[in-house]
Structure 1
Amino acid sequence: MRFFTISTSPNSRAASLIHRIQRQLFSSKNASDSKSLYRKISQLGDPNVSVTPVLDGWVNGGNHVDKQELQRIVEELRFYKRFKHALEVSLWMTNERRFTMSFYDTAVRLKLIFKVFGLERAEDYFNKIPENKRSFSVYLALLNCYMLVKSVDKAEAIMQKARDLGYASKPIWYNIMMNLYYRVGDMKKIHDLLTEMEAKGIPHDPYTQSICLNACAWASDSIGMDKIISTMESDSRAVPHWKTYVSAIQGYLTMGLSDRALPLLTKLEGQLKSPRDKTFVFTILLNLYADIGNKDELYRLWNEFKLSNRIGNKVYLSMIRALVKFNDVEGAERIFGEWESSGLEIDFRVPNVLIDSYCADGLLKKAEDLITKGISGGGSPLMMTWVLLAGGYLRKNQVPKSVEALKKAVSICPPKFENQLTTCLDFLETRAYLEKEEEFTKLIKREGISLMSIFDKLSDFIKDGQLQSVQECQV
């Protein structure tokens, strides 16, 4: 698999132009073809199913595909966080179609490699790029990777390199660095960057405002948030961005000031007019109304939206999650029934929400039936499907069934979880967990594991001495 293919004479301005127009132009025949090809790819809801056969079949069927269409498809897949499929299309674009890569394509591929394979592979890819081919967009992509993994030293080195090359003249560079400092809790360096921006005449954009709002929320500075929102809304030159409103609402909710968040929710609903971000904003609104505890508004918004908009898997998933937050399982089951009858491709992330709820309540038969029904309908359970079921079995002290479910999870899990899941299996299948309770407790609380309910529950069982060995349970 070749990760690096680049044109010998790329034009960065042309690449930037492609990036701006590919989301907007759909009037030509090629744009229409692109929609059709993307529709075929979008139907593959399971990230473990390759899109390459779809691409090959499209071309072998006599259909035309050009570079701009493939770039647009990559953008769409990235927008919906389908990074593995986006990387496949990117690789197919250069490896199979022999299209050369622009600076922009290279930066996108670096981001996708990071999302799919992690930082080390992304750095390896970056190091293979010739120095004279490392445009501002490529450096920016690497800086963003370092921000996401909270690598302060490496990020600061790239930022200084960008300053030296004259790239760091736009708000985005400072936004990424401020986001990093916010993540590690270094508010002083955020202030230093804001001072640097002011000294260089670099304006604040909506993302800068969002980061400042997040910093105020972190410091429980509601007055500071009020001032930022007031300044933002008094600027007649631009309508406040929806992401800024989301940051403000979440900040107020974090501080327990729901009365200040409610008016902003109404303003955020006004952002649903944007056709590009409409679905994304809607799913965020569902989550926010659930967080604020207003089920009536949640149903109102849902009923209004579905009258005039196509409801996809992601929207159903968000609504079911929101209802489960209210412990409205009956309502969640009703929406799930609508999803089942919608004819959408089976995406196990949707039933996973109910499976999680059923397992938490000890309703294992209902969870098992849901999995069986999904499989019979052509769906493929995800790793988390089996992890959730394993957690449910452990709550009922059904260790052998938990082991079998974990084995299924291991067989399809991403590499980053394989060691953890395998180690849990080793402990369950032997008496090791009875002899090494302290070691096991530390193991399951490592970053990336404690987020899964099964491992936390496993720890509780071990501490309480409730688990028996697999051999004893099978007697």
Structure 2
Amino acid sequence: MLNGTCGAFLNDVEDFPRLNPKTLLAASMAIARFRGFLSKVDDFHGVRNIFSCSLKTEFRGRRQPRDEATRLLFERISPIGDPTASMVPVLDQWVKEGNEVNKSQLTNIIKDLRSFKRYSHALQISMWMSEKRYIELTSSDISVRLDLVSKIHGIEEAESHFNNVPVHQRSLEVYGALLNCYANAKCVEKAEGLMDKMRDLGFARGSLVYSVLLGLYQQTGNYGKMENLVEEMEEKRIRLNSHAYCILLNAYRTKSDTSKIDEVLKKAESDDVYGKHWSVYSNAAHGYLEAGLVDKAVTTLRYAEEFITGDRRNHLAYEFLMTQYAKAGKRDDVLRVWKIYNKKKRVLNKGYISFISSLLRLDDIESAEQVFDEWKVKGLSLDIRIPNLLIKHYCKKDLLEKAKAVIEEIISKGVKPNEQTWLYLASCYLEEGRSQEAVEAMKKSLREATSIDISEWTHYNDVLEACLKFLKEEGNIKEAEEFVQLLEQQGNASPVVSQRFLQYVTGENPKPEEQ
């Protein structure tokens, strides 16, 4: 999986005018034709919020509020980072002060909040919009709310919300939003049942709808069903869009079936409307690379370059190409693409992440350090992910002092290290036999790691286990208790798991089990 290189292509559906289902379907197909779709994961497989997605944007590069009133209201809302905090008092106070508030302002703010994954606040504003301001919701508004309800409260609540939508408002867009919720939750049977209903209603007529189900089958390993769905599309003369091609290519990459990759690519090359897209060639190249066909992958990547258009999101192409060329060991191509990227686009943080990570993959530390120094004076937002790339690499190379120097530098500039920063440092301390310092670094990591499921983070578990083992060998029960208490308080372990950790330290268990 590539790090930080890809995002979604599709604009939020709420940007569309209020269209009837037939016109909306045509508009959706046009978007598919000219832009394609990408997924939430870095190698473009899967489906991400096709009907109600929001683009991840860097703070400095995000869309600015449309008018002064919207900007001022957003400035009140933006600093409230606690997802449990209510937006209602803020909105009520805004109105009490005599300020105007309209639907356009609220939907724009909802968009911004979604782009920063502040789903709870976005949902609160959506509910306030209809319950306090009595603003009539369009199909687009309902679709966005469905997506938010699913993210915050789960799929059952989303279903309940859908069932309460008046029948006359259950447009293609609303059905598509629910289908996307099922796909994100990997509810195959429910998605298939809804797709049957959409067929009956005449909504399953375009590649957009089919792409959601294709992506779900690919994500869940239902490759037979995926191929059957493609056959159905062919029978109905529904053309694959570029996103659908990418789904198929990634499915066959997962299966290491290069002959199937060849077939899909051949079909795409004969499709002048949808197939000749840089993302299609890049995904094929990714499959070839993973199969060890480096020369074939590089040739395919160079074809991909020919189809990079002037689209305002073509930065994704350059970022992905750099990471792929780095995987292939082609340093000159990485530098060449970076030069083109720098010339044609204003490079933001994601571009620097792709370039620096590509250089480090090639073990070109000196160049990576030069680019890091360039980034520091660019005036972009101070994104911790960028110094973390160097810190991680230094720690892997046992360059502890260099890693510490970067951490000290970013702290002096007001950048707050995150859980990964301290994890890398703790790991490096352990390699050097400085276990007590590793424990201290790990404590800092735990304080930041409020959203990490440590049972699914292998490296985190390894370092955690090493720290607990050290405390056990030292007989430092008091510090071990403090360590485990911090683990539980930050929500990274249940009381049962915490108890097992303590039993391990006190000798009651032979190994610190997480399960």
Same fold (TM > 0.5): yes
Q: CA RMSD in A?
A: 4.3
* CA distance in 2: counterparts of 1:411 and 1:180, whole angstroms: 35
* CA distance in 2: counterparts of 1:47 and 1:229, whole angstroms: 48
* CA distance in 2: counterparts of 1:368 and 1:233, whole angstroms: 50
TM-score (norm: length of structure 1):
0.72
TM-score (norm: length of structure 2):
0.67
Q: Give the gaps of 5 or more residues in structure 1.
A: 1-9, 25-30, 421-443
Question: What amino acid is the match of 1:253?
Answer: L
Partner of 1:449: 457
Alignment partner of 1:162 out of 198, 202, 205: 198
Question: What amino acid is the match of 1:34?
Answer: R
Spell out the pairing of 1:312-391 with structure 2 (5 A cutoff).
312-391=348-427
Answer yes or no: is the 8 Å Cα contact 1:146–1:152 preserved in 2.
yes
Secondary structure of the corresponding residue to residue 273 of structure 1: coil
Is 1:124 the counterpart of 2:157 in the alignment? yes
Answer yes or no: is the 8 Å Cα contact 2:359–2:365 preserved in 1.
yes
Partner of 1:34: 66
Question: What amino acid is the match of 1:303?
Answer: K
Spell out the pairing of 1:11-410 with structure 2 (5 A cutoff).
13=20, 34=66, 67-68=103-104, 71=107, 82-85=115-118, 88=121, 91-92=124-125, 95=128, 98=133, 100-112=136-148, 114=150, 117=152, 120-129=153-162, 130-132=164-166, 133-237=169-273, 240-410=276-446
* CA distance in 2: counterparts of 1:131 and 1:365, whole angstroms: 59
Q: Note closer, same or farther for the CA distance 1:151–1:33 as it changes in structure 2 (3 Å cut).
A: closer
Partner of 1:439: none
Question: What amino acid is the match of 1:302?
Answer: W
* CA distance in 2: counterparts of 1:62 and 1:342, whole angstroms: 41
Answer yes or no: is the 8 Å Cα contact 2:242–2:274 preserved in 1.
no
Answer yes or no: is the 8 Å Cα contact 1:74–1:87 preserved in 2.
no
Q: Note closer, same or farther for the CA distance 1:109–1:253 as it changes in structure 2 (3 Å cut).
A: farther
* CA distance in 2: counterparts of 1:110 and 1:131, whole angstroms: 10
Answer yes or no: is the 8 Å Cα contact 1:12–1:102 preserved in 2.
no
Answer yes or no: is the 8 Å Cα contact 1:295–1:326 preserved in 2.
yes
* CA distance in 2: counterparts of 1:223 and 1:71, whole angstroms: 47
Secondary structure of the corresponding residue to residue 84 of structure 1: coil
* CA distance in 1: counterparts of 2:149 and 2:447, whole angstroms: 23
Answer yes or no: is the 8 Å Cα contact 2:325–2:331 preserved in 1.
yes
* CA distance in 2: counterparts of 1:35 and 1:278, whole angstroms: 28
Is 1:469 the counterpart of 2:469 in the alignment? no
Secondary structure of the corresponding residue to residue 175 of structure 1: helix
Q: CA deviation at 1:379?
A: 1.7
Q: CA deviation at 1:295?
A: 0.6
Q: Note closer, same or farther for the CA distance 1:353–1:49 as it changes in structure 2 (3 Å cut).
A: farther
Q: CA deviation at 1:12?
A: 5.3
Partner of 2:499: none
Q: CA deviation at 1:257?
A: 1.7
Question: What amino acid is the match of 2:386?
Answer: V
Q: Give the gaps of 5 or more residues in structure 2.
A: 1-16, 36-62, 480-515
Question: What amino acid is the match of 2:461?
Answer: F
**Larger relative contact order (CA 8 Å, sep ≥ 6):** 2
**Percent identity of paired positions between Structure 1 and Structure 2:** 32
Q: Note closer, same or farther for the CA distance 1:303–1:200 as it changes in structure 2 (3 Å cut).
A: closer
* CA distance in 1: counterparts of 2:418 and 2:98, whole angstroms: 34
* CA distance in 2: counterparts of 1:47 and 1:305, whole angstroms: 36
Structure in which a larger fraction of residues adopt helix: 1
Q: Note closer, same or farther for the CA distance 1:246–1:405 as it changes in structure 2 (3 Å cut).
A: same
Secondary structure of the corresponding residue to residue 117 of structure 2: helix
* CA distance in 2: counterparts of 1:356 and 1:337, whole angstroms: 17
Q: Note closer, same or farther for the CA distance 1:260–1:390 as it changes in structure 2 (3 Å cut).
A: same
Answer yes or no: is the 8 Å Cα contact 1:400–1:470 preserved in 2.
no
